[in-house]
Structure 1
Amino acid sequence: MTTEVPRTDGALARLARFCHRRRRLVLPAWIVGVVAVAVAGFGFSATPDNAMSGGGSGSAKAQAVIEKHFPERQGDTLTLAIKADEGIDAPAARSRIEKVLAALDASPVTGPVTSPYQDASLVTKDRRIARTIVPLTVEDVKKADVKVLVDTVEQASGDGVSLGLGGQQAEKAETPKQGPGDSVGVLAAAVILFIAFGSLVAMGLPLATALLAILGGIALTKLSGHLVPAPDFTVIFAALIGLGVGIDYALFIVTRYKDGLQAGGDPESATVEAVATAGRAVLFAGTTVVIAMLGLITMGQRLMTGVAIGASVTVVVTMIAAVTLLPALLGFTGYTINSVRLPRRVSRRHGSADGPAPARRTPAERWAGAVQRRPLLAAVLAGAGLLLLAAPALSMRLSLPDASVQPHDRSSYTSYKILSEGFGPGYGAPLIFATEAGSRQGLGPVVQAVADTDGIASVTPPQTSGDGQAATFTAFPETGFQDEATTDLVHHLRDDVLPKTNVGGDVFIGGPNAAAVDYSQQTASRLPLMITVVIALSLVLLVALVRSVTIALQAAVMNLLSIGAAYGVLVAIVQWGWLGSALGFTTAMPITTWVPLTMFPVLFGLSMDYEVFLISRVREEYERTGDTRAAVTRGLARTAKIITAAAAIMISVFTTSLLGPDVSIKQVGLGMAVAVLIDATVVRMLLVPAVMELCGRANWWMPGGRARKTARADLAEVVELGKAKV
């Protein structure tokens, strides 16, 4: 057996040697740089852009008409919902309600508030429930200012009077920060690292590297919003991804460093070797994630482009930190990497008179042997199991969250419940019709046709703009924002009802519900393109690395199966409500439209990371022995521990999102945690060895004679990458 010597004269090796020797310069430079970027990023961050619609959609055209001809309708509004058990006219109830109305009207961020006592249309017939609109006069109103209004309304509730303040700004104001989720994720990762390394010092290095990198990455993400506007969830999403990959990347390099010391190297040579091998794997893995994330740009949506850029920036910073900051930290650590050790049980093996006892096979080797004895059965069972888990994804519905899916102790949910009871569930899903083709009188046939449509509860009289060039009216469905019937109603109005009227072709349907429908439809139509681009680019990278078309295709198919299974589990929990309440989802709801989009590229990139880790080790053993079965067994045995630790860190980080308040972020975290769990167990430990056993020598097929010509020449490179994370 020959041992390949890792390259120590390449660019990465020189970089590692420089950072190790100049650690007293590199570490302060990182700290000062991150602090400076953090001050700029958090002090001058870009305003989030949460616009879901755009382009040529019907809702976007309706919004353009309203913005152009109805300037008085610009700006956010809040809705005050009132319910009095004994009626709003009871003296005690009226006194309390009028105090709240006065307080809302007197706020410096609100406009005139119309009292329901002055407008009978704002009160139900039994006069138990009322509503009124609270206009916000400040363009970029602060959450703190709106929170004061929310608190005022909540404090006035009680003694038979229920008050709730709804609207997008109210939901934002009363939504708490992400909470202890990130801290819990870091703590869980620390425990896993301590168990894996058995040393507090070794545990601290990946955490310190990842946290410093994430701080800088998030600050740059906030600044990048000035160039590419991004929604407000981008920072949370970037932190979630950055924390997971940042710790994992540092884990791989520290593991390789420890191996270098154990093999007799000094700290500098071990650092150089670790970065020259594991660092290359980190750069490949991170580049795959970044390329996959940038695939979101193909969606043609500003929102997704902002998410792609913001998350990619954070991943890039974690990559740079792994190959520059970490070598400096290793220079300070030196031989103390194994200090403060976890007590471990030492297994002693005694030989006999005939010689030393044979080495025991590891559990991973025994497992691989069992799979290889029945590869077809294992492949069929694993594939069938993944398809079964993926089946619910066929019924996936996409929408955007509204007040109806918020925790029941929030004022916005109270407002939703009161308004649904008094004015119907469709009050929170208004359909706003706008046109430049007709006047108030000319819209009569359109209004009547809409009012006569099944599923419409009520229609407001049309209004003409001040310049007389446009008109608008509002229709309220009988069903709520999240109901599938409401989505079907929007399509029916556009496809069947409006075209039959004289000006129907020039009447556009807008409003938050129609915008959500358009966004979901646009997403569904462009999703195949994004998936194709991500898979194609990832396959090119993987073929170039492992020199095998067969393995690259296997990886693509298996990644799709694991992601499909994660989608299916997400639908069963969130949309069908299975165990949803136990995981923090207050009610069954559609999947947030952008969640599957962001999950796919991230998970595909992470799955490729595990694939490279495992397959490169298998390739090394195959080149040494020429035996695919033995190569798979040994490759699995040598990578199982680190794959398990890396996956456990990812899962712990992702699942902590369930502790936060944002239902969409919860969906992302849950889906990615399930996908990583499936990928690290069913796929890597069962499906991969089974399929490779079935394919045999065909695993290493490349067109023409390229594979045979380059196999030996590339062996050193593959061996280095295969050892990168062990």
Structure 2
Amino acid sequence: MRAVPRGSTTEEQMMTTTESPRTDGALAGLGRFCFRRRRLVLLAWVVGVIAVAFVGFGYGAAPDNDFSGGDSQSAKAQKLMAQHFPQEQGDRLTLAIRTEKGIDDPAARQKIEETIADLAGSPVTGPVASPYQDDKLVTEDRRIARTTIPLSDKEVEKSEVKPLVDLVKDASDDSVTLALGGYMAEKAETPPQGPAESVGILAAAVILFIAFGSLVAMGLPLATALLAILAGLALIKLVGHLVPAPDFTLAFGAMIGLGVGIDYALFIVTRYKDALRDGDDPEGATVKAITTAGHAVLFAGTTVVIALMGLVVMGQRLMTGVAVATSIAVLITMIAAVTLLPALLGFTGHKINSVRLPRRASRRKQEAGEASEARPTFAERWAGVVQRRPLIAALLAGASLLVLAVPMLSMRLSQPDASVQPHDRSSYISYEILSDGFGPGYGAPLVFVTEVDSKDADLRSVVQAVSGTEGIAYVTPPRTSEDGQAGTFTAFPTTGYQDEATANLVHELRDDVLPGTPGGEQVLVGGPNASTIDVADDAASRLPLMIAVVIALSMVLLIALVRSVTIALQAAVMNLLSIGAAYGVVVAVVQWGWFGPALGFPTAMPVTTWVPMMMFPVLFGLSMDYQVFLISRVREEYEQSGDTRVAVARGLARTAKVITAAAAIMIAVFTTSLLGHDLAVKQGGLGMAVAVLIDATIVRMVFVPAVMELCGKANWWMPGRRAPKTASESPAEVEEGIRV
């Protein structure tokens, strides 16, 4: 802060110390440079974004969706299978057939054989076995049949599989239903996110126009965020060569980057408009905005990045990729906010308020600085209501959050499969047909594999033990690899992929059945379903550690900024409660099915494994952002008045509008993910929208003022130093207090 001029009154000194930004620091210099060299800065951004987009989208890495790996039993089983049964690896499709008159009906047989021939003739498929040549592929009543379609060894794109899905759909009629299932078929028929991002941008534009009342002011955050997101997504594609990430990363990165990008620009533009209204010229207003709101943006963005990097603690290769990728998106939006935005402000100048929204006369006077005795705002009056009964308000807010969090206690983690897809999809129809004909466990096979000494190895005792386990429908005969070093067989459970009973069965086989069977100690249980269970178990076990790391790092940053251990602890507890409530809402909607179909979830399903892992760091970082913007202003007011009650009321009043607008933009961007088709991304968007809504209402409007009123001067406790100096103290004490 600048030194206090000698000869000033105490009040003048206080105003100079707390409100005048430094004009000689690095941020001030950066803001001034970008303002004065605005054409150069804008040109550099446009050219740079075009170049990065060309390289990134043209030569970026393909997504990696293999969540297996590590030291899990399923990963070890997969490695053994790839080593000794390479011919059985690779993606496969499954053709499901249902006929009213049976597959031997001449008309049905002709259609089925023609379809199989067309599938076998595709350049991306291998040999296709006919169900007419293997009775194991047909049910006893011969009304349902299946066959497996191997995909070629080369990497097959989902765009190459989509024609096969369409071919099978077109071949179906009233007498014969044909459907294509399998992972690649499911991906091929899942439409892109579609208009979700566009709707989010439109909603953000409307909110910004209402908040600023100016078309020009509305356009600046949007332009800044969109350029930053384009560059960020291209960089995510490029970084994928070094740190692989799954396919949902781009959608998630766009959602996070768009939200924070618009919010960060909103904070800076708001401070710029305030400075203009206070009489600064455009350059001075830009420097003031960058040194105040820009400083807060850098801190807020850093908090989000640190929180995201907490995902590395999960120890999962792809989640590390997600952490790096989404952090890149946030970093680019931070850089754009303090470089590109000052340049754009240089072009607008005083025209920031052009193309205005009609306002009431009283509002226009207030914005012009003509209102001397303005009435208290709603936020200030509301804070007064809460502060009169702080204990009751805090208890009600806490109880509400705990009630919302209750469903979280029953959270189950899994990965979406064909059984939870929209019912008009070919993959769901295939699942339904195969479940009816071969049991619900057909789509959840358990692959058993072990090393053996020779081709004559006897696995019959293990097979008998597994087949005699409750919950197993049937077991295939054991086979030995051509090199005589590994044996394998497959068991099909009586329950489906998403059923909790299937997960319990896997644990029973591993913990009790196999260890208690001669020769079963070395047998590994793998397969897609076991892999999903292992990933979910690993995520559940590591989630508490990630939460602890994120909280600890974020608290250290917040203490460094606000110089208060009490406020940092308050923020951590409140953020935990709001995120827990968001988890509870996600479980109630997704897993319990409450309002699920209305929100785009076809059926009740477990929560996708990566959703709670991603939600926590993102939401904790965003909550800290709002906490910083609110508490920083409360602290300024406390330093002037020395009265916590007055400081909280005024701080809430000064920040309510901008935080409400920022939260509304976040909610709009996250909610529009429900318009997309990726079930996992929709779960994440729903959870984050709910969390931001809770944070902007229950937490900021009730919990914060109530708890701060209860804590009083203890809010500013910091070991080794006194509470912040107030305007009632000597000028020397004031300056020393702020400098600390």
* TM-score normalised to structure 1 length: 0.96
Q: How many Å apart are 1:479 and its aligned residue?
A: 0.4
Q: Give 2:443's aligned residue.
A: 428
1:28 aligns with 2:43: yes
1:566 aligns with 2:587: no
Q: Give 1:724's aligned residue.
A: none
Q: Give 1:605's aligned residue.
A: 621
Q: Give 1:341's aligned residue.
A: 356
Query: Which of 162, 170, 191 matches 1:176?
Result: 191
**Are residues 348 and 235 of structure 1, via their aligned partners in 2, closer, same or farther at CA, if it must alter by over 3 Å?**
closer
Q: Give 1:40's aligned residue.
A: 55
The secondary structure found in structure 1 opposite 2:156 is: coil
**Are residues 69 and 712 of structure 1, via their aligned partners in 2, closer, same or farther at CA, if it must alter by over 3 Å?**
farther
Distance in structure 1 (CA, Å) of the matches to 2:256 and 2:265: 14
Q: Give 1:329's aligned residue.
A: 344
Q: Give 1:547's aligned residue.
A: 563
Question: Does the 8 Å contact 1:623/1:715 carry over to 2?
Answer: no
1:699 aligns with 2:712: no
Amino acid of the residue matched to residue 402 of structure 1?
D
Q: How many Å apart are 1:442 and its aligned residue?
A: 1.5
**Are residues 348 and 175 of structure 1, via their aligned partners in 2, closer, same or farther at CA, if it must alter by over 3 Å?**
closer
Q: How many Å apart are 1:656 and its aligned residue?
A: 0.3
1:516 aligns with 2:532: yes
Distance in structure 1 (CA, Å) of the matches to 2:584 and 2:202: 29
Q: Give 2:93's aligned residue.
A: 78
Matches within 5 A, 1:76-115: 76-115=91-130
Q: Structure 2 regions of 5+ residues with no counterpart?
A: 1-10, 366-370, 726-731
Q: Give 1:614's aligned residue.
A: 630
1:243 aligns with 2:262: no
1:369 aligns with 2:384: yes
Q: More deviation in 18-27 or 356-365?
A: 356-365
Question: Does the 8 Å contact 1:46/1:226 carry over to 2?
Answer: yes
Q: Percent identity, aligned pairs only?
A: 73
Distance in structure 2 (CA, Å) of the matches to 1:139 and 1:641: 55
Distance in structure 1 (CA, Å) of the matches to 2:580 and 2:563: 27
Distance in structure 2 (CA, Å) of the matches to 1:26 and 1:655: 34
Query: Which of 309, 312, 323 matches 2:324?
Result: 309
Q: Give 1:161's aligned residue.
A: 176
Q: Give 1:658's aligned residue.
A: 674
Distance in structure 2 (CA, Å) of the matches to 1:279 and 1:717: 20
Query: Which of 450, 473, 489 matches 2:466?
Result: 450
Distance in structure 2 (CA, Å) of the matches to 1:706 and 1:313: 39
Amino acid of the residue matched to residue 212 of structure 2?
F
Distance in structure 2 (CA, Å) of the matches to 1:393 and 1:440: 50
Amino acid of the residue matched to residue 375 of structure 2?
R
Give CA deviations for 1:407-435 in whole Å, capped at 9, x if unaligned.
11111011000000000000000000000
Distance in structure 2 (CA, Å) of the matches to 1:482 and 1:713: 62
Q: Structure 1 regions of 5+ residues with no counterpart?
A: 351-355, 719-726
**Are residues 708 and 652 of structure 1, via their aligned partners in 2, closer, same or farther at CA, if it must alter by over 3 Å?**
closer
Amino acid of the residue matched to residue 463 of structure 1?
R
The secondary structure found in structure 1 opposite 2:64 is: coil
Q: Give 1:353's aligned residue.
A: none
Q: How many Å apart are 1:705 and its aligned residue?
A: 2.3
Distance in structure 2 (CA, Å) of the matches to 1:698 and 1:686: 19
Question: Does the 8 Å contact 2:61/2:240 carry over to 1?
Answer: yes
Give CA deviations for 1:52-108 in whole Å, capped at 9, x if unaligned.
121111101100110110110121100000001111111111111111100010111
Question: Does the 8 Å contact 1:6/1:716 carry over to 2?
Answer: no
Q: How many Å apart are 1:501 and its aligned residue?
A: 1.3
Distance in structure 1 (CA, Å) of the matches to 2:326 and 2:44: 24
Distance in structure 2 (CA, Å) of the matches to 1:670 and 1:597: 14
The secondary structure found in structure 2 opposite 1:107 is: coil
Give CA deviations for 1:663-700 in whole Å, capped at 9, x if unaligned.
00000000000000000000000000000000011100
Q: Give 1:12's aligned residue.
A: 27
1:58 aligns with 2:73: yes
Q: More deviation in 131-140 or 60-69?
A: 131-140
Q: How many Å apart are 1:125 and its aligned residue?
A: 0.3
Q: Give 1:408's aligned residue.
A: 423
Q: How many Å apart are 1:361 and its aligned residue?
A: 1.5
Amino acid of the residue matched to residue 291 of structure 2?
A
The secondary structure found in structure 1 opposite 2:133 is: coil
Distance in structure 2 (CA, Å) of the matches to 1:477 and 1:117: 26
Q: How many Å apart are 1:716 and its aligned residue?
A: 5.8
Q: Give 1:128's aligned residue.
A: 143
Q: Give 1:674's aligned residue.
A: 690
Question: Does the 8 Å contact 1:440/1:462 carry over to 2?
Answer: no
The secondary structure found in structure 1 opposite 2:267 is: helix
Give CA deviations for 1:375-428 in whole Å, capped at 9, x if unaligned.
000000000000000000000000111000111111101100000000000000
1:530 aligns with 2:581: no
**Are residues 332 and 349 of structure 1, via their aligned partners in 2, closer, same or farther at CA, if it must alter by over 3 Å?**
closer
**Are residues 465 and 714 of structure 1, via their aligned partners in 2, closer, same or farther at CA, if it must alter by over 3 Å?**
farther
**Are residues 434 and 633 of structure 1, via their aligned partners in 2, closer, same or farther at CA, if it must alter by over 3 Å?**
same
Distance in structure 2 (CA, Å) of the matches to 1:326 and 1:698: 39
Question: Does the 8 Å contact 1:407/1:413 carry over to 2?
Answer: yes
Question: Does the 8 Å contact 1:658/1:669 carry over to 2?
Answer: yes
Give CA deviations for 1:619-659 in whole Å, capped at 9, x if unaligned.
11111111000101101111111111000000000000000
Q: How many Å apart are 1:440 and its aligned residue?
A: 5.9
1:186 aligns with 2:198: no
Amino acid of the residue matched to residue 264 of structure 2?
Y
The secondary structure found in structure 2 opposite 1:49 is: coil
The secondary structure found in structure 2 opposite 1:458 is: strand
Question: Does the 8 Å contact 1:289/1:601 carry over to 2?
Answer: yes
Q: How many Å apart are 1:216 and its aligned residue?
A: 0.1
Q: How many Å apart are 1:437 and its aligned residue?
A: 3.4
Distance in structure 2 (CA, Å) of the matches to 1:511 and 1:101: 26
Q: Give 2:483's aligned residue.
A: 467
Q: Give 1:723's aligned residue.
A: none
Distance in structure 1 (CA, Å) of the matches to 2:203 and 2:157: 34
1:206 aligns with 2:221: yes
Amino acid of the residue matched to residue 72 of structure 1?
Q
Distance in structure 2 (CA, Å) of the matches to 1:421 and 1:348: 66
Q: How many Å apart are 1:358 and its aligned residue?
A: 5.0
Amino acid of the residue matched to residue 212 of structure 1?
L
Amino acid of the residue matched to residue 443 of structure 2?
G
Q: Give 1:588's aligned residue.
A: 604
Amino acid of the residue matched to residue 682 of structure 2?
K
Q: How many Å apart are 1:138 and its aligned residue?
A: 3.5
* TM-score normalised to structure 2 length: 0.95
Distance in structure 2 (CA, Å) of the matches to 1:138 and 1:444: 33
The secondary structure found in structure 2 opposite 1:204 is: helix
1:507 aligns with 2:519: no
Question: Does the 8 Å contact 2:574/2:699 carry over to 1?
Answer: yes
Q: How many Å apart are 1:347 and its aligned residue?
A: 2.4
Q: How many Å apart are 1:365 and its aligned residue?
A: 1.0
Question: Does the 8 Å contact 2:452/2:484 carry over to 1?
Answer: no
Report how many residues are paired: 713
